[in-house]
Structure 1
Amino acid sequence: MTLQNKNDYGYIRVAAAVPQVNVADVEYNVAQIVDCARHAADAGAQLVVFPELSVTSYTCADLFANEVLLDSAEQAIVAIGEATARVDIVVIVGAPVRADGHLFNCAVVMHKGKILGFVPKTYLPNYKEFYEKRWFTSYNLVRNQHEITFNGSSYPFGADIIFDAGRVKLAVEICEDLWVPIPPSSIYSINGANVIVNLSASNELIGKHDYLVNLIKHQSEHCISAYVYSSAGYGESTTDLVFAGNAIIAENGSVLKEGARFEQTSQLEWADIDIEALNNERRVNGSYSDNLAQYAREMHHVSFDWPATLNYDETRLCRPLKKLPFVPREESRLHSRCEDIVNIQTEGLMRRLHFTGIKTVVVGVSGGLDSTLALLVATRAFDKLGLDRRGIYGITMPGFGTTDRTYNNALELMHALGITVKEISIAAAVTQHFADIGHDMSVHDVTYENGQARERTQILMDYANKTGGIVLGTGDLSELALGWATYNGDHMSMYNVNCSIPKTLAKHLVMWFATLASTTTPEGLKIHETLLDVLHTPISPELTPADAQGNIQQKTEDLVGPYELHDFFLYHMLRYGYSPRKLYLLANLAFEGDYDRKTIKKWLTKFMWRFFGQQFKRSCLPDGPKVGSVSLSPRGDWRMPSDAAVRLWIKECDELPQ
């Protein structure tokens, strides 16, 4: 077994090849296969998968009963092994293989010229355009056979083999195997395989391709695995069918790479699979392991050394990488995602109001992003419940750092939404409080800032008591991760609809509300214009005085770092358990041209310090709805001791190059 190269960051590179073939022209097909395998190795791939029966072509039909073709196919397997003996790549080809009076539709797994094993097809389609049982024997009929003799030597044989290279555990299924209710890949995965390959010959039909892609995506997600699919293409017989060639690489529900169809030349696609993320996901998902109780099988493990891994400090990662992992790329998906998220927030608040019988809520409205979003969700909940919006008490509480821009936006938005508007200045109360505790008003330290935040929370809580309502929290997921909230100040509420909303997503949710606002009425136009201005306002708690021009001076991202970086770190650390080294690698790739390595290292280190040091605030969070795969609720997704040491993570940050 090869030890993990720390510079591979848990990735492996896999390829799906669709060689041009000639029907029954084995020598030609071998040349195409070898050429594709070498090109895959040159691209850094450690595994390349070819289509079903690629050595002979799939559409040989009754020629599969001819000894000339079968002899040639077996010689071809040997020839491919010899031709790739000096190439450090796992090669998997499809070929007809004779054994004990049967003919099997097999995948042949080879590495450095050595045959690791033969995997026969289990489910042979024999309906409509398919007649495979006319020529081949199903593995189901010979399940007790675990070896075959080939070219004078014995080799592992069966559809119960896991090719085991330590952290990479490879298994094979063939075409129709995927289309049955419980595919072999499901059994393989439950029993440890994390990379599934499928050698296929799937002809084209109207609508079939979309179904196929979804099938592969869903199977990779159900299995929490990589899925590498290669299907026959140009050169197969078109007597009755057309094979367009599909090369698809998926990982845990996402298609990483998909090749073009209907090409007249050989095709090769490759992508990097995150084995570390897959293995982490399986460890976290207890139900996945529980499936073993029902589907545990005796698997035959064939051990081998995985090909030399790539150094991703020097090799560019080949997989999609988003700057904003919480935000969908496609505009159409973004709109529907925003609607779903807002509905979750709204439903959470509606249920809390319905259960308690409460018909009023109190929201502190600052004119900033988060309080705006919470207010919009509250109006939506009241509308759906049939409650009068005047039961929403929006309170703006200007203080020493409040600017005209945020103050005016808060008032204009509340009036346009038709809620009850209150203005309560905190200046006098905070000034008296500072006098009581002996704090110098000219010292703008943590006491100066937190005193204002806690005064605002006290007003909200007391006003909720006065009106028989609840205080609606506004703090978001990004702030909770960084601890950018005053303990028992804005940190506290009676229900927080934003607790699972990262800052980078909140902007899109407010924009979604802005697009819904009708611009044909004065109120709708005012809502639309105000929301757009909120989106362009610098993020700030406004707890220190404005500058000489009356503009926001205290900008959050200048103090704790860009939220797009912190949301990137947060998503990948919580979702996949990535180390600082891996976060640093990915951030440098995703934000290339936006931030230099020194800046990314600085804010990554800051993120680690704050994430660990501020856990005590997250250990006592108010209730609020989970909306995505990443959440910090101490009652659900994230249970972490408040006194955990950050030493290991900071040490790794300190060792990062820049």
Structure 2
Amino acid sequence: MGHLMILATCSLNQWALDFEGNLKRILESIRVAKQRGATLRVGPELEITGYGCFDHFLEGDTYLHSWEMLGKILQFEEAKDMLLDIGMPVSHKNVKYNCRVIVHNRKILLIRPKMFLANDGNYREMRYFTAWSPAQHVEDYYLPRIIRNITGQAVVPIGDAVVSTIDTCVGVESCEELFTPNSPHISMGLDGVEIITNSSGSHHELRKLYKRIDLIKEATLKSGGVYLYSNQQGCDGDRLYYDGCALIAVNGRIIAQGSQFSLKDVEVITATIDIEDVRTHRGMSSRGMQAVNTDSYQRIEVPISLSSEKINRKPHFSPTKPIQEHYHTTEQEIAFGPACWLWDYLRRSKTSGYFLPLSGGIDSCATAIIVYSMCRLVVVAASNGDNQVIMDARRITGEKEDSDYVPTDPNELANRIFHTCYMGTINSSKETRERAKKLANAIGCYHIDMDMDNVVSSVVTLFSLVTNKTPRFRLDGGTNAENLALQNVQARLRMVLSYLFAQLLPWVRNKSGSLLVLGSANVDECLRGYLTKYDCSSADINPIGAISKSDLRKFIDYAKNEFGIPILDEFLKAIPTAELEPITHEYAQADEVDMGMTYDELSIFGKLRKIERCGPFSMFSKLIHEWGTELRPTEVASKVKRFFYYYSINRHKMTTLTPSYHAEAYSPDDHRFDLRPFLYNTAWSWQFKKIDALSNDIEE
């Protein structure tokens, strides 16, 4: 007979600095795990504070309140007889660490600081924390008075150690440590640690989940062992959406997987494992040869067993069987991830809904469909009896808490909380106006159709009165400067009107509160700078700001069938256009013509620039091989130079970019993710000379 034990990990929707709310969700996860018979519970990274506190991690209050919340966890009656892995920041010798605190029965067994910090892309952990060093080093930590009074302890170990129970050994990893080449789980596994916990704050990015799961499977396949992965879930207060998907793996196989996108505040997954399976898996002689040469970890001994005699005596009680891990398609990720992010943002901002300028183009269409997807998710959660979702829906829609309102239809909910407006001018087409109206009818949102020519002409007339000059469009003989200014004034006035309507539409409908304005500029337009600064892309938040045009088209095609909205086919067939210039029989403005490059090309440029870290010359050197069979070297050179010219002259627009849901690794978002200058020498003189020289040499 083996040694059976029930283990639990979880995904929690924590919120930066929401100490009481975070505590409530932590205690609920402990309660659920205990109810299911678990003897070990693992929580997300920095779960007490929330992961996204940023510079608040430099404040002493954050550490004080963390200890206060830990004190309440230690005294939680239902935590008795459970080994708990809790995440919080800890200051030791005036040095700040990102830590796991391992507790059992009102005693702190170990404080384990993070050893490898995430410090690129969206993360700046080294700004707030210090990595623990060296490996396997342990010191004494002197507990604060509020904890001493609870535990009766004055000193506890802090450092890179493991916890040894009567029947097994538990080691700790934190998020980034799984992704490093020499992960701690390797040396811990060789030293006999059989259960590894990993507490993460890992954000959603399109097509990323498989990397996380592959690493966990590989870690336990090669080293053997049980791996408990916990993750944050939801919007922590910033651009990132933490996608949950808690996991339990044994010996290279996933045996339990939580949901990746959920409106639940607390999700706990449990599995029954037989620790003897780990010992059998590790029976190879080559592992033994490496194990005897591995430095030993200090073991913090605790006289408890994670396995249960009660369970082991049940003859029909068996370990949880392996499952086939589940992945969403890219289209589903776009449908669910930004939708969950929008719901979190809406309910936590205490506003009454969203306002979107609906242009009749595919970008604002995709934004609207994501909001509709949010309404669908809310209806499903409410039908499943999620009381938190129901209470939030009542507050947002203006219903009283004691009312019996439950959202049962996404169109009805959209009509209450989602407002759209078509802001037409003389340059707008009948087709875009009709598409916007049909889409609004299909999803049920509150829609306004208006013309704003009087507003635009008033501003232009004011300019003419002041300067005695009247600007004209290019088609009417105007210069490029006049043409661009007349386009921009329309776009910027839409932003002003958007905020006016967002503030007053609830009042018009005899409701209280105000609306959040949604932007709808995609990642490729942002990269190229093909948007007007402070136009209607300047909004409160933007759910598609880091999603490519090609992915948005796939999403709309998916939603057409999945959501049953046939009108979306008209958006797919329409040529992308800003509709800011006069339309004639010979001329109609088109985005890709205006930009001088296609959206597909922009995606390629973006990935090479950000993900492959290419400057102009190295980008040309790569593309000459990829595009060389279709384009001459000088044509490739011209495209690369055109991209970098427009990228650099428009880079300043990224400094004021609407906060966007982070979904793509080549996002040009200036805020924390893509830290680059916004004032360039747009001639790129030396770089472009190198490109020209190489392209001419190849052609000759």
Give TM-score, length-normalised by structure 2: 0.44
Give TM-score, length-normalised by structure 1: 0.47
For the pair shown, which has the larger CA radius of gyration, 1 or 2? 1
